[in-house]
Amino acid sequence: DAGITQSPRHKVTETGTPVTLRCHQTENHRYMYWYRQDPGHGLRLIHYSYGVKDTDKGEVSDGYSVSRSKTEDFLLTLESATSSQTSVYFCAISSGAGFQNPYEQYFGPGTRLTVT
């Protein structure tokens, strides 16, 4: 299994509070992703990173920001949490061209976030 951890695994927070989710990898993979999973929507990309300090928006980026100061860590921040951000959040990694299985994504265990 790819070495990907997410913290926290569960969190309950109140509307309007800031929240930061952490993804940590030990695989030295170049690409990292944040998805949210909601019933009826599958997985939707929030933000992704193609290198240290290189990030870009996905399809549902409003209300979220990310940072990647080290290869191994990718942080997702909800500046002011809203109830619509209640979801399960997944981090994923992929290695990129030139590696074995370059385009396969490996997922972390997920974080269940509830905003009350």
Out of 68, 90, 113, 115, which residue is the one contacting other proteins (CB under 8 A)?
90
- State whether the Cα torsion 27-32-38-40 is positive or negative: negative
43 binding other proteins? (CB under 8 A): yes
Of 14 and 104, which has the nearer Cβ to other proteins?
A: 104
Out of 60, 81, 105, 113, which residue is the one contacting other proteins (CB under 8 A)?
105
Q: How crowded is residue 62: how many other Cβ atoms within 10 Å of its Cβ?
A: 8
48 binding other proteins? (CB under 8 A): yes
> What is the C-alpha R_g of the chain?
14
- Bridge partners of 78, per DSSP, are 19, 64
Task: Return all residues near 70 (Cβ < 8 A) that are at least 6 apart.
Answer: 52
Binding residues for other proteins, per CB under 8 A?
A: 31, 33, 35, 40-45, 48, 50, 56, 58, 88, 90, 92, 94, 96-97, 101-107, 109-110
